[in-house]
Amino acid sequence: MNRRDVVNTLLEKRGKLLVVAGLGSTAWDITAAGDSPLSFPTWGAMGQAAMMGLGLALAQPRRRVLVVTGDGEMLMGLGALATIGVQRPANLTVVVIDNERYGETGMQATHTANGVDLAAVARGCAFKLSKVVRTPAQVKALHSTIHGKTGPNFAQIKVKAEKLPLVLPPHDGVLLKDRFRAALLADVLPKKL
Ligand SMILES: Cc1ncc(C[n+]2csc(CCOP(=O)(O)OP(=O)(O)O)c2C)c(N)n1
């Protein structure tokens, strides 16, 4: 599958969904789907996206939170999956866009190219749901999981290893933080998710 199509589908009608992206390609992917103040791309911070998603999910239990990150980024912070499994945030989904490469630094193979099964790791960490996703129909189903199913949920989505045009979000970290916070706090919350 093409990663941009996948991320577009996941972010369709995103509403008040809070989105944290890993560095590099997933940050360009969520921006290509339409920049939003409720998106937080992590630029150069590798290995932290899932933990940031966990913090947000715990702090904002009435919001849905999605982490979209790369396989290399997830491999760098694998311990996050264990902590998420222990904390069990019902409103969090972690999605790994798995091209089996470190795309941004020259397409070197990651461990998922050599059999490391991230979905099995998440299952072993007691995620409520954990899947390898290979088809557009499965991506569509994942959309409803992200927006409504009790988590924590995990999906490892297999995509083509391809270099796509960069679609950059704002580069200023303070601006990204401030606009995210302002948009989040300005929203009137519904009574229930
Ligand atoms: C701690 C740290 N190590 C290395 C890098 C350099 N780096 C930037 S992007 C990247 C590859 C990311 O790969 P992946 O998460 O799989 O994303 P994709 O292939 O989708 O671009 C690397 C190694 C970094 N930014 N920080």
Mean pLDDT of the chain: 96
In ligand 1, which atom is closest to the CA atom of 75? 15
The model's pLDDT over 51-66, given as tens digits with 9 standing for 90+, comes to 999 999 999 999 999 9
pLDDT at 188 over 70: no
> Which tokens sit at 152?
């924590």
pLDDT score for 31: 98
The answer, yes or no, to whether any atom of ligand 1 lies below 6 A from the CB of 93, is no
Q: In this prediction, what percent of the chain has a pLDDT beyond 70?
A: 97
Rounded Cα distance between 36 and 169, Å, is 9
Rounded Cα distance between 59 and 11, Å, is 22
Closest CA to 14 of 64, 81, 55: 64
In ligand 1, which atom is closest to the CA atom of 161? 19
The answer, yes or no, to whether any atom of ligand 1 lies below 6 A from the CB of 72, is yes
pLDDT score for 99: 98
In ligand 1, which atom is closest to the CA atom of 71? 16
The answer, yes or no, to whether any atom of ligand 1 lies below 6 A from the CB of 118, is no
pLDDT score for 96: 98
* Nearest CA residue ID for atom 17, ligand 1: 70
The answer, yes or no, to whether any atom of ligand 1 lies below 6 A from the CB of 105, is yes
Residue whose tokens read 């264990």: 82
* Nearest CA residue ID for atom 19, ligand 1: 103
pLDDT score for 39: 98
The model's pLDDT over 20-37, given as tens digits with 9 standing for 90+, comes to 999 999 999 999 999 999
pTM equals: 0.96
pLDDT score for 189: 63
